[in-house]
Amino acid sequence: MKVKESDLDLNGKRVLITGAASGIGAAMAKTFFAHNATIILADIDPIGLERVSKETSGSQTVVFNQNDLTSIEEMCVNMEAPDILLNNGGILWAGPFEEMSSDEITKIINVNLLGPVHIVQALGKKMLTRGSGIIVNTSSQLAFHGSAERAVYASTKAAIAQFTKSIAAEWAPKGIRVVAIAPGRTLTNINASLLNSPKKQQTAIEAIPAGRIAEAHEMARLALLLSSDVLSYVVGETVVSDGGYVLL
């Protein structure tokens, strides 16, 4: 059966995107806006939010801190349940594990794991009341492939993949479909320090069978498909898009 243009038309759908000020989140905003969704942009970076808002015809913005539970609660308490939650906000810390401070460990766990979990709980309750909703979490290829100098980051992303499976099993019978994407190396600000020289880029590409680094819009398109009825039977899966990195 042919996939029709209307199958990807999100007219009338409200989409909340966290981490929307740059990178994959900004690409999600532009992609979902192009498919007629009503976009709500959330991030800690007001300047980046304003830029993306202008690029999506003045989409609503919310400044919040994913490292602060009170800030998360303030964002969610008065917000109508979105039809689609793109639970994408996150940070990266790369370096020797023995050099990480306790504050850095706590921050990356808060932002990458506890923050997304609290957002899902707060907005998921409202979706449950309505009886419908789609949640797309952002994990990482490193949830499935260990990586030196990213131990805590990889651990949080593995936890997101398992959280996705578990909450999907719990909520699918109640009308809430939960899935996740696991991006590979992507040309975004979060990876800038890892790809800021031709030598670093070549080293990264050598570990990718596809022979290139991804563009942010490729991850946004994956999220779009997972959010649509085209893939409505996909539940609880974390879909890896990494050019084959985890195969090696």
pTM of the model: 0.97
Which of 33, 153, 163, 171 is flagged as catalytic? 153
pLDDT digits (tens, 9 = 90+) for 53-74: 999 999 999 999 999 999 999 9
Cα separation of 210 and 206, whole Å? 9
* Chain segment 6-17, per-residue pLDDT in tens: 999 999 999 999
pLDDT at site 210? 96
Burial string for 130-151 (b: 16+ CB within 10 Å, else e) reads: eeebbbbbbbbbbbbbeeeebb
153 belongs to the catalytic site: yes
Q: What is the DSSP string of 138-150?
A: E--GGGSS--TT-
